[in-house]
Protein backbone atom coordinates (compact mmCIF):
# COMPACT_ATOMS: atom_id res chain seq x y z
CA UNK A 1 0.00 0.00 0.00
CA UNK A 2 1.38 3.45 -0.92
CA UNK A 3 1.98 6.01 1.87
CA UNK A 4 -0.94 7.98 0.42
CA UNK A 5 -3.29 4.99 0.54
CA UNK A 6 -2.14 4.22 4.08
CA UNK A 7 -2.98 7.75 5.15
CA UNK A 8 -6.41 7.54 3.55
CA UNK A 9 -7.06 4.17 5.13
CA UNK A 10 -6.17 5.70 8.50
CA UNK A 11 -8.55 8.60 7.84
CA UNK A 12 -11.38 6.24 6.95
CA UNK A 13 -10.76 4.03 9.95
CA UNK A 14 -10.79 7.12 12.15
CA UNK A 15 -14.01 8.31 10.52
CA UNK A 16 -15.76 5.00 11.19
CA UNK A 17 -14.51 4.95 14.76
CA UNK A 18 -15.61 8.53 15.33
CA UNK A 19 -18.95 7.91 13.67
CA UNK A 20 -19.64 4.81 15.74
CA UNK A 21 -18.59 6.68 18.87
CA UNK A 22 -20.70 9.74 18.12
CA UNK A 23 -23.77 7.82 16.98
CA UNK A 24 -23.85 4.62 18.99
CA UNK A 25 -27.46 4.00 17.97
CA UNK A 26 -26.58 4.00 14.27
CA UNK A 27 -25.38 0.61 13.14
CA UNK A 28 -22.57 0.68 10.62
CA UNK A 29 -23.64 -0.53 7.20
CA UNK A 30 -22.06 -3.83 6.25
CA UNK A 31 -21.66 -2.77 2.65
CA UNK A 32 -19.32 -0.20 1.24
CA UNK A 33 -18.10 1.23 4.53
CA UNK A 34 -15.04 2.45 2.69
CA UNK A 35 -14.73 2.64 -1.05
CA UNK A 36 -11.46 3.68 -2.64
CA UNK A 37 -11.57 5.25 -6.07
CA UNK A 38 -8.36 4.91 -8.02
CA UNK A 39 -6.52 5.08 -4.72
CA UNK A 40 -7.37 8.77 -4.33
CA UNK A 41 -10.97 9.12 -3.19
CA UNK A 42 -13.17 7.57 -0.59
CA UNK A 43 -16.83 7.41 0.34
CA UNK A 44 -18.40 6.35 3.58
CA UNK A 45 -21.94 5.09 3.32
CA UNK A 46 -22.31 4.71 7.07
CA UNK A 47 -23.74 8.22 7.52
CA UNK A 48 -27.52 8.08 7.52
CA UNK A 49 -29.30 10.79 5.52
CA UNK A 50 -31.82 12.60 7.68
CA UNK A 51 -34.82 13.36 5.49
CA UNK A 52 -35.92 16.28 7.62
CA UNK A 53 -34.06 19.03 5.78
CA UNK A 54 -34.79 20.46 2.38
CA UNK A 55 -31.58 19.12 0.76
CA UNK A 56 -31.98 15.55 1.99
CA UNK A 57 -31.00 13.04 -0.68
CA UNK A 58 -29.73 15.64 -3.13
CA UNK A 59 -26.26 15.28 -4.61
CA UNK A 60 -23.97 18.29 -4.97
CA UNK A 61 -20.60 18.84 -6.62
CA UNK A 62 -18.71 21.77 -5.12
CA UNK A 63 -15.54 22.64 -7.00
CA UNK A 64 -12.59 23.76 -4.87
CA UNK A 65 -14.07 22.60 -1.58
CA UNK A 66 -11.08 21.31 0.39
CA UNK A 67 -10.83 24.65 2.14
CA UNK A 68 -12.09 28.24 2.40
CA UNK A 69 -15.52 29.15 0.96
CA UNK A 70 -15.95 25.83 -0.88
CA UNK A 71 -15.34 23.79 2.28
CA UNK A 72 -17.89 25.85 4.17
CA UNK A 73 -20.44 25.29 1.37
CA UNK A 74 -19.81 21.52 1.37
CA UNK A 75 -20.35 21.39 5.14
CA UNK A 76 -23.48 23.56 4.98
CA UNK A 77 -25.10 21.53 2.19
CA UNK A 78 -24.24 18.26 3.94
CA UNK A 79 -25.61 19.58 7.25
CA UNK A 80 -28.91 20.01 5.41
CA UNK A 81 -28.80 16.41 4.22
CA UNK A 82 -27.12 16.68 0.81
CA UNK A 83 -24.51 14.16 -0.30
CA UNK A 84 -21.50 16.15 -1.42
CA UNK A 85 -18.47 15.77 -3.65
CA UNK A 86 -15.55 17.60 -2.06
CA UNK A 87 -13.31 18.56 -4.97
CA UNK A 88 -9.64 19.44 -4.64
CA UNK A 89 -6.62 19.59 -6.89
CA UNK A 90 -3.57 19.31 -4.57
CA UNK A 91 -4.39 19.23 -0.89
CA UNK A 92 -5.92 15.79 -0.23
CA UNK A 93 -5.38 16.13 3.51
CA UNK A 94 -7.62 19.19 3.74
CA UNK A 95 -10.18 17.52 1.49
CA UNK A 96 -10.22 14.46 3.74
CA UNK A 97 -10.63 16.67 6.81
CA UNK A 98 -13.73 18.22 5.24
CA UNK A 99 -15.06 14.72 4.47
CA UNK A 100 -14.37 13.61 8.05
CA UNK A 101 -16.09 16.61 9.54
CA UNK A 102 -19.15 15.98 7.36
CA UNK A 103 -19.23 12.31 8.29
CA UNK A 104 -19.05 13.21 11.97
CA UNK A 105 -22.38 15.06 11.63
CA UNK A 106 -24.10 11.87 10.47
CA UNK A 107 -26.28 13.67 7.92
CA UNK A 108 -25.28 13.91 4.23
CA UNK A 109 -22.51 11.68 2.91
CA UNK A 110 -19.24 13.02 1.53
CA UNK A 111 -16.53 11.90 -0.83
CA UNK A 112 -13.37 13.66 -1.90
CA UNK A 113 -12.52 13.73 -5.60
CA UNK A 114 -9.27 14.98 -7.06
CA UNK A 115 -9.85 16.84 -10.32
CA UNK A 116 -8.51 19.99 -11.93
CA UNK A 117 -11.66 22.09 -12.24
CA UNK A 118 -10.15 24.36 -14.89
CA UNK A 119 -9.89 21.55 -17.45
CA UNK A 120 -12.44 19.70 -19.52
CA UNK A 121 -10.95 16.36 -18.46
CA UNK A 122 -11.30 17.44 -14.82
CA UNK A 123 -14.99 18.15 -15.44
CA UNK A 124 -15.42 14.67 -16.85
CA UNK A 125 -13.70 13.10 -13.84
CA UNK A 126 -15.97 14.99 -11.45
CA UNK A 127 -19.15 14.00 -13.27
CA UNK A 128 -18.11 10.37 -13.78
CA UNK A 129 -17.07 9.90 -10.15
CA UNK A 130 -20.21 11.59 -8.83
CA UNK A 131 -22.46 9.37 -10.92
CA UNK A 132 -20.48 6.27 -10.03
CA UNK A 133 -20.63 6.97 -6.29
CA UNK A 134 -23.98 8.70 -5.85
CA UNK A 135 -25.89 7.92 -9.07
CA UNK A 136 -27.28 11.42 -9.66
CA UNK A 137 -26.42 15.13 -9.72
CA UNK A 138 -28.80 17.79 -8.39
CA UNK A 139 -26.56 20.74 -7.56
CA UNK A 140 -23.45 22.21 -9.17
CA UNK A 141 -21.52 24.85 -7.23
CA UNK A 142 -18.80 26.32 -9.47
CA UNK A 143 -16.75 27.78 -6.64
CA UNK A 144 -13.10 27.15 -7.57
CA UNK A 145 -11.45 30.30 -8.84
CA UNK A 146 -8.18 32.16 -9.05
CA UNK A 147 -7.43 35.83 -8.41
CA UNK A 148 -4.14 37.09 -9.79
CA UNK A 149 -2.95 40.66 -9.55
CA UNK A 150 -1.41 42.36 -12.63
CA UNK A 151 -1.92 45.64 -14.47
CA UNK A 152 -2.29 45.78 -18.24
CA UNK A 153 1.42 46.46 -18.58
CA UNK A 154 2.28 43.27 -16.67
CA UNK A 155 -0.36 40.95 -18.13
CA UNK A 156 0.86 38.21 -20.44
CA UNK A 157 -0.92 35.43 -22.28
CA UNK A 158 -0.45 32.63 -19.69
CA UNK A 159 -1.82 34.93 -16.98
CA UNK A 160 -5.00 35.81 -18.83
CA UNK A 161 -5.45 32.22 -20.03
CA UNK A 162 -5.13 30.93 -16.45
CA UNK A 163 -7.90 33.29 -15.32
CA UNK A 164 -10.29 32.48 -18.11
CA UNK A 165 -9.57 28.73 -17.89
CA UNK A 166 -10.28 28.61 -14.15
CA UNK A 167 -12.97 31.25 -13.78
CA UNK A 168 -14.89 30.79 -17.06
CA UNK A 169 -13.96 27.76 -19.18
CA UNK A 170 -13.81 25.22 -16.33
CA UNK A 171 -17.21 26.15 -14.82
CA UNK A 172 -18.83 26.31 -18.26
CA UNK A 173 -17.58 22.87 -19.28
CA UNK A 174 -18.49 21.31 -15.95
CA UNK A 175 -22.05 22.50 -16.53
CA UNK A 176 -21.98 21.20 -20.10
CA UNK A 177 -20.61 17.81 -19.01
CA UNK A 178 -23.02 17.42 -16.09
CA UNK A 179 -26.11 18.68 -17.89
CA UNK A 180 -27.30 15.37 -19.41
CA UNK A 181 -27.28 13.91 -15.87
CA UNK A 182 -28.53 16.96 -13.96
CA UNK A 183 -31.87 16.33 -12.28
CA UNK A 184 -34.57 17.98 -14.38
CA UNK A 185 -36.66 19.80 -13.29
CA UNK A 186 -35.19 20.99 -10.00
CA UNK A 187 -31.49 21.13 -10.88
CA UNK A 188 -29.44 23.96 -9.43
CA UNK A 189 -26.37 25.69 -10.89
CA UNK A 190 -24.52 28.29 -8.82
CA UNK A 191 -21.59 30.20 -10.29
CA UNK A 192 -19.14 32.39 -8.37
CA UNK A 193 -18.26 35.98 -9.18
CA UNK A 194 -16.99 38.88 -7.06
CA UNK A 195 -18.57 42.11 -5.84
CA UNK A 196 -15.63 43.84 -7.56
CA UNK A 197 -17.52 43.56 -10.86
CA UNK A 198 -19.67 46.44 -9.59
CA UNK A 199 -17.35 48.15 -7.06
CA UNK A 200 -16.15 51.66 -7.87
CA UNK A 201 -13.12 50.99 -5.64
CA UNK A 202 -11.72 48.37 -8.04
CA UNK A 203 -7.94 48.61 -8.59
CA UNK A 204 -6.12 48.47 -11.97
CA UNK A 205 -4.33 45.21 -11.08
CA UNK A 206 -7.67 43.39 -10.78
CA UNK A 207 -7.94 43.47 -14.57
CA UNK A 208 -8.01 39.76 -15.48
CA UNK A 209 -9.80 38.64 -12.32
CA UNK A 210 -12.66 41.09 -12.73
CA UNK A 211 -12.87 40.55 -16.50
CA UNK A 212 -13.19 36.79 -16.05
CA UNK A 213 -15.75 37.11 -13.26
CA UNK A 214 -17.78 39.56 -15.35
CA UNK A 215 -17.74 36.93 -18.09
CA UNK A 216 -19.10 34.20 -15.81
CA UNK A 217 -21.90 36.52 -14.66
CA UNK A 218 -22.94 36.85 -18.30
CA UNK A 219 -22.67 33.09 -18.85
CA UNK A 220 -24.95 32.68 -15.84
CA UNK A 221 -27.52 35.18 -17.16
CA UNK A 222 -27.73 33.57 -20.57
CA UNK A 223 -27.79 29.99 -19.26
CA UNK A 224 -30.65 30.88 -16.92
CA UNK A 225 -32.79 31.54 -19.98
CA UNK A 226 -31.66 28.37 -21.72
CA UNK A 227 -31.84 25.94 -18.78
CA UNK A 228 -34.69 27.73 -17.02
CA UNK A 229 -36.96 26.24 -19.67
CA UNK A 230 -36.07 22.82 -18.23
CA UNK A 231 -36.73 23.80 -14.62
CA UNK A 232 -33.05 24.28 -13.77
CA UNK A 233 -32.12 27.53 -12.04
CA UNK A 234 -28.81 29.26 -12.76
CA UNK A 235 -27.57 31.97 -10.41
CA UNK A 236 -24.32 33.62 -9.40
CA UNK A 237 -23.12 34.33 -5.88
CA UNK A 238 -20.91 37.38 -5.75
CA UNK A 239 -19.02 37.72 -2.46
CA UNK A 240 -17.20 40.76 -1.17
CA UNK A 241 -13.83 40.35 0.57
CA UNK A 242 -13.77 37.03 2.43
CA UNK A 243 -10.95 36.02 4.74
CA UNK A 244 -9.32 33.18 2.79
CA UNK A 245 -5.83 32.47 1.40
CA UNK A 246 -7.02 33.65 -2.03
CA UNK A 247 -7.96 37.04 -0.56
CA UNK A 248 -4.91 37.46 1.68
CA UNK A 249 -2.26 36.45 -0.84
CA UNK A 250 0.17 39.31 -1.56
CA UNK A 251 -1.67 41.88 0.57
CA UNK A 252 0.04 43.64 3.46
CA UNK A 253 -2.03 43.78 6.69
CA UNK A 254 -2.63 47.54 6.31
CA UNK A 255 -4.28 46.91 2.92
CA UNK A 256 -6.39 44.12 4.40
CA UNK A 257 -7.45 46.43 7.25
CA UNK A 258 -8.40 49.21 4.87
CA UNK A 259 -10.49 46.81 2.77
CA UNK A 260 -12.20 45.51 5.92
CA UNK A 261 -12.95 49.12 6.89
CA UNK A 262 -14.99 49.49 3.68
CA UNK A 263 -17.55 47.03 5.11
CA UNK A 264 -20.06 48.64 7.50
CA UNK A 265 -19.20 46.08 10.21
CA UNK A 266 -15.49 46.90 9.76
CA UNK A 267 -14.57 43.29 9.11
CA UNK A 268 -13.90 40.85 6.31
CA UNK A 269 -16.52 38.27 5.46
CA UNK A 270 -16.06 34.66 6.58
CA UNK A 271 -16.76 31.58 4.46
CA UNK A 272 -19.66 30.89 6.83
CA UNK A 273 -21.26 34.20 5.79
CA UNK A 274 -21.48 32.95 2.20
CA UNK A 275 -22.36 29.25 2.53
CA UNK A 276 -25.97 29.64 3.78
CA UNK A 277 -26.82 31.79 0.77
CA UNK A 278 -25.54 29.06 -1.54
CA UNK A 279 -27.56 26.50 0.42
CA UNK A 280 -30.69 28.61 -0.04
CA UNK A 281 -30.12 28.93 -3.80
CA UNK A 282 -29.60 25.16 -3.94
CA UNK A 283 -32.85 24.47 -2.13
CA UNK A 284 -36.35 23.89 -3.51
CA UNK A 285 -37.37 27.16 -1.80
CA UNK A 286 -35.30 29.10 -4.38
CA UNK A 287 -37.12 27.68 -7.39
CA UNK A 288 -38.23 31.16 -8.55
CA UNK A 289 -34.77 32.75 -8.15
CA UNK A 290 -33.21 32.39 -11.58
CA UNK A 291 -30.69 34.39 -13.60
CA UNK A 292 -29.68 36.56 -10.63
CA UNK A 293 -26.36 37.78 -9.31
CA UNK A 294 -26.64 37.73 -5.52
CA UNK A 295 -24.09 39.94 -3.79
CA UNK A 296 -23.01 38.61 -0.40
CA UNK A 297 -20.71 41.28 0.94
CA UNK A 298 -21.99 42.77 4.22
CA UNK A 299 -22.55 46.10 2.44
CA UNK A 300 -19.05 46.36 0.94
CA UNK A 301 -20.78 47.23 -2.33
CA UNK A 302 -24.37 48.50 -2.19
Ligand X SMILES: NC(=O)c1ccc[n+]([C@@H]2O[C@H](COP(=O)([O-])OP(=O)(O)OC[C@H]3O[C@@H](n4cnc5c(N)ncnc54)[C@H](OP(=O)(O)O)[C@@H]3O)[C@@H](O)[C@H]2O)c1
Which residue among the candidates 68, 209, 220, 238 is catalytic per the annotation?
Answer: 209
Which residue among the candidates 49, 65, 68, 193 is catalytic per the annotation?
Answer: 193
Active site residue 66: no
3-state secondary structure of 151: coil
In the bound state with ligand X, the residue whose beta carbon lies nearer, of 56 and 246, is 246
Q: Contacts for 263-267 with beta carbons within 8 Å, 24 or more apart? A: 263/297, 263/298, 263/299, 263/300, 264/298, 264/299, 265/298, 265/299, 267/298
In the bound state with ligand X, the residue whose beta carbon lies nearer, of 145 and 187, is 145
Which residue among the candidates 58, 75, 114, 213 is catalytic per the annotation?
Answer: 213
Least separation in angstroms between CB 17 and ligand X: 25
195 secondary structure, DSSP code: G
Least separation in angstroms between CB 273 and ligand X: 11
In the bound state with ligand X, the residue whose beta carbon lies nearer, of 34 and 198, is 198
What are the residues binding ligand X (CB under 6 A)? 63-70, 87-91, 94, 116-118, 143-145, 147, 166, 192, 194, 239, 241-242, 244-247
Least separation in angstroms between CB 48 and ligand X: 27
Least separation in angstroms between CB 30 and ligand X: 33
Q: Classify strands 59-62 and 41-43 as parallel, antiparallel or unpaired.
A: unpaired
In the bound state with ligand X, the residue whose beta carbon lies nearer, of 230 and 267, is 267
Report the distance separating Cα 293 and Cα 218, nearest Å.
Answer: 10
Active site residue 209: yes
165 secondary structure, DSSP code: I
In the bound state with ligand X, the residue whose beta carbon lies nearer, of 15 and 147, is 147
Residue nearest to ligand X (CB): 145
Which residue among the candidates 47, 65, 79, 195 is catalytic per the annotation?
Answer: 195
Least separation in angstroms between CB 185 and ligand X: 27
Sign of the dihedral defined by the CA atoms of residues 175, 106, 278, 63, in that order:
negative
| Alpha helices per DSSP H over the chain | 3-22, 68-79, 92-105, 120-134, 157-164, 170-178, 207-228, 245-248, 253-260, 271-282
Residues in CB range of 127: below 8 A, 6 or more apart: 61, 137, 174, 177, 178, 181
Least separation in angstroms between CB 203 and ligand X: 14
Report the distance separating Cα 161 and Cα 229, nearest Å.
Answer: 32
In the bound state with ligand X, the residue whose beta carbon lies nearer, of 49 and 279, is 279
Residues in CB range of 170: below 8 A, 6 or more apart: 63, 116, 117, 118, 119, 122, 123, 142, 144
Q: Which residues are catalytic?
A: 193, 195, 209, 213
Amino acid sequence: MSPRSKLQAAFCALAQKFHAHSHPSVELSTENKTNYVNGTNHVDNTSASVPSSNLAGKVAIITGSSKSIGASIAKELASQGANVVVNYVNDFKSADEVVLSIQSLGKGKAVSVKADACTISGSKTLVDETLRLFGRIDILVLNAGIMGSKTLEEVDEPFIDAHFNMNVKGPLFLVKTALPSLVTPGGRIIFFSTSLTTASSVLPNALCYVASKAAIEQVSRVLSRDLGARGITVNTVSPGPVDTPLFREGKPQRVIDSIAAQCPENRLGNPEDVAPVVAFLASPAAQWVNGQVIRVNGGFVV
